[in-house]
Amino acid sequence: MASRRRPASFPVLPYKNKIFCISAHIVLDFTRTAGYVLPCMASLVTKKKGNKLYYYLVESARVEGKPRIVHQAYLGTAEKVAELVRERTAPVPLSATMRDFGLPSALWHAAQQSGVWPLLQSLWPPPRSGPGPAHYLLLAAIHRICQPGPKTEVPHWYGNTVLAAWWHFPPERFTSQAFGDAFEQILPAEAPASAPDPLDQAQLRLLGLWKEKQLVSRRLLAYDTTNFYTYIASTNTRNHLAQRGYNKQGRHNLRQVGLSYVLDGENGLSLCHHVYPGNVADSEEFSTALSRITSMLDHHQIARETVTLVVDKGSAALANTVALQEARLGWISALPWNQAPLEWRQQPVEQLPPCSSAQPGVRARAEKMLVHGQEYLCVLKYSAAFASEQLHSLTTSLSRVMQSLRRLASELNKPQARWSEDRVGHKIQGWLSAQFLHELIRYQMDTHQGRLRLQFDVDQNAFSKLLTQRLGRTVLLTNHMDWSAEQVVAGYAGQQQVERVFRGLKDGNWLGWGPMHHWTDRKIRIHAFYCMLGISLLQYVHKQAQNAWPDLSVERLLEELEQIKQFVLLYPPQGEKGPPRAAYVLSRQTLVQQALLKTLELEPLHRSTQRG
């Protein structure tokens, strides 16, 4: 049995290139004939290898009365030893909190830098304490971009973003009821009929701001319309905007609202929009939208002759063409395919002159023609990229319909099949409603032994004609008689930007319009206003981001910014008293994210969070 004595402590003794720390235990081992002392003594020893010094940790002890090295550990160079010391002395954080930083801060900074935030506060002044209507509008726009959803989800999302650190409002101030109260201040229900509409005035002020910032420079405006289905009940008689009509997303059984939209053809900023009943056709809405556009231009003293309005073929009716001429606006429109002369629109692609490198894969030819009783400049445009997209969509639809026809034919051959000819014909007509399919697929029904038989085939001549004379082609019409074909093609490209915006709204890739949790006309109009405001802020950020990464798409921009997080590390206080210390660190960034942080000036915002 071993007995122990109290350890004897010894001082630290320097000796040449060694540092000693001695603390000894005297141990008696009765299993051996002799006792020995095991001092807990460690020293740093240097060994020179080549031109470098390397450090080792050496532990010594007396064995049989003689000093011996009992343990040795390699530490490395002096730099490695210093790093080990720093790691051992660095405090361990008590907790870590993650915040959404990249996307909310970029949108908030854009609102400040562009002047949108001061403008909103001047339109709806803040109260003496707490958030004002401008806070709710801007937060709703940012929320629709970052994490679309109902207002009941806003407090939790807001509390996990850097906006809470900058605004200094608790998340409980942004409940669904608080949004409703703020929207009531923006667009009161009991407003006098003679008073100007607050949202229309806000749109005019925003256009003045974009003009002041020289963001409406080319005077090229793109116009288009779309509709959005809602879940508003048929029994809701308070709502007059949500009506049933032809829905572009195929939800004809639901009530819908229409939206006409004008944006700047170069920067993509929202200049004017209008929410209209869902049972109004696009061509009927155009006269109302045109009146709003001309009033907007006159209000800001923008000469109508200097503006070119780009519209889709859905608005290219005869009455609208006459209205554009009377409005003294320049315009470019896509002409419906069957209204162009047959021989001219079927020219071989090889005869169309190619455009410059600014329009790769595009050919175009211009010619003056008589359309709607008036001479205009017509442009036949062929795009190889557009042709490939149409061909891909066509082959996908064709394959799906052929499989459906084959299954239907097999079903008709079964003895128990009870199909009427009208029912089969109605079903097939629904399948052939997609573009070009009615021209390509031939089918025939006959009766054999009391049962229907179905035969179908693809018209190869029609398919060949479609490839060589239709796919990739667009007929454009303009009153700019002195423009070249390439100028018209470049101008019409603004229309594609509007269509991308609408796709981003419906798919939720840019900003989620739906689901729209509003049931009254006033709330739907406010919803459209902050959605369009969010689109303008997003386009503003995208325009700046392209200076850092020229080929960056809006979808890629959103993806990169969403991945930039801010971590708040909480450390113990330095002394016995005092609050815990906080450190703010950004997540590791890719090359694109580093460029975005610099170009969008987000680093100063990160540092301002630490000071706050």
Query: How many helices and strands, by DSSP H and E, does the chain display?
Result: 20, 21
Per residue in 192-212, pLDDT tens?
777 888 999 999 999 999 988
346 near 258, Cβ under 8 Å?
Answer: no
Same domain as 233, residue 355? no
Interacting residues of 23 by C-beta distance below 8 A, sequence separation 6+? 7, 8, 9, 10, 39, 40, 41
The pLDDT mean for the chain works out to 85
Structure tokens at 439: 């021209």
Residue 12 is assigned to a structural domain of this protein: yes
Rounded alpha-carbon distances, angstroms, from residue 365 to 24, 192, 358, 388: 99, 55, 16, 20
The residue among 71, 89, 107 that closes a domain is 89
In this predicted structure, what is the pLDDT of residue 339? 83
Same domain as 265, residue 351? no
Confidence of residue 39 (pLDDT cuts 50, 70, 90): low
Same domain as 76, residue 32? yes
Q: Nearest-CA neighbor of 527 among 177, 199, 283, 219?
A: 199
pTM: 0.78
- Widest CA span of the chain, in angstroms? 125
In this predicted structure, what is the pLDDT of residue 364? 94
In this predicted structure, what is the pLDDT of residue 453? 87
Number of folded domains that form the chain: 3
d(CA 161, CA 169): 12
d(CA 331, CA 307): 8
Length of the chain: 612
Task: Detail the DSSP E strand segments found in 170-235.
Answer: 220-229
Same domain as 243, residue 202? yes
Confidence of residue 12 (pLDDT cuts 50, 70, 90): very low
Tally of CB atoms within 10 A around 189: 7
DSSP reduced 3-state for 45: strand
Q: Is the peptide bond before 515 cis (omega within 30 degrees of 0)?
A: yes
Whether the predicted pLDDT of 533 surpasses 70: yes
Rounded to an integer, the average pLDDT of 171-177 is: 95
Residue 587 is assigned to a structural domain of this protein: no
Same domain as 483, residue 443? no
Domain interval for residue 354: 342-372+380-475
Greater pLDDT, 52 or 276: 276
Per residue in 257-271, pLDDT tens?
999 988 887 788 888
Residue whose pair of structure tokens reads 């063409």 in the numeric block? 321
Residue 337 is assigned to a structural domain of this protein: yes
CA dihedral sign, ordered 541, 544, 549, 551: positive
Greater pLDDT, 258 or 572: 258
Question: Looking at 151-160, 365-374, 523-532, which range is the least confident one?
Answer: 365-374
Confidence of residue 561 (pLDDT cuts 50, 70, 90): very high
In this predicted structure, what is the pLDDT of residue 80? 81
Residue 554 is assigned to a structural domain of this protein: no
Residue 224 is assigned to a structural domain of this protein: yes
Tell me the CA end-to-end span of the chain in Å, nearest whole number. 65
Same domain as 323, residue 352? no
**Residue 527 belongs to domain with CATH number:** 3.30.420.10
Q: Give the pairing of strands 308-311 and 451-458.
A: unpaired
In this predicted structure, what is the pLDDT of residue 218? 62
In this predicted structure, what is the pLDDT of residue 575? 66
Rounded to an integer, the average pLDDT of 147-169 is: 93
148 near 558, Cβ under 8 Å?
Answer: no
In this predicted structure, what is the pLDDT of residue 305? 87
In this predicted structure, what is the pLDDT of residue 217? 65
The residue among 30, 58, 89 that closes a domain is 89
Whether the predicted pLDDT of 138 surpasses 60: yes
Whether the predicted pLDDT of 117 surpasses 90: yes
